[in-house]
């Protein structure tokens, strides 16, 4: 298993319940795909560095996890089809 981290930004129009539900959904994708979530760090609502689709803020979340190499592809697919995700990135951590 390899170590990965993902940061995703959720749309600011979501309420706290919807933000938590989305974070749990993505954690579930990792855990159901055979991965292990090590850490979830909610950074809260922050201003974006630049405007994305007329949006200036978003809810940032960082998740550190261990998984096989196929899981990030599935997680990326889930991020792309979710309307609530503005931006995301998945990075393999160096040793």
Cα(91)–Cα(19) distance, integer angstroms: 22
Check residue 95 and give its pLDDT.
73
Q: Where do the domains of the chain lie, and which CATH numbers do they carry?
A: 2-92 (3.30.70.60)
> Can you say how many angstroms the Cα of residue 29 is from the centroid of all Cα atoms in its chain?
11
Would you state the pLDDT for residue 88?
A: 96
CB of 25 closer than 8 Å to CB of 37: no
- Which two tokens mark 40? 């979830």
What is the reported pLDDT for 77? 94
Residues of the chain short of pLDDT 50, as ranges, are none
């Amino acid at each position: 298993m390899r170590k990965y981290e993902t940061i995703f930004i959720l749309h600011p129009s979501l309420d706290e319940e919807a933000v938590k539900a989305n974070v749990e959904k993505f954690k579930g994708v990792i855990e159901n795909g055979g991965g292990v979530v090590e850490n979830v760090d909610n950074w809260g609502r922050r201003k974006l560095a630049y405007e994305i689709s007329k949006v200036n803020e978003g809810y940032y979340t960082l998740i550190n996890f261990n998984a096989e190499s196929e899981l990030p592809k599935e997680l990326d697919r889930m991020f792309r089809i979710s309307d609530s995700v503005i931006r995301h990135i998945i990075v393999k951590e160096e040793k």
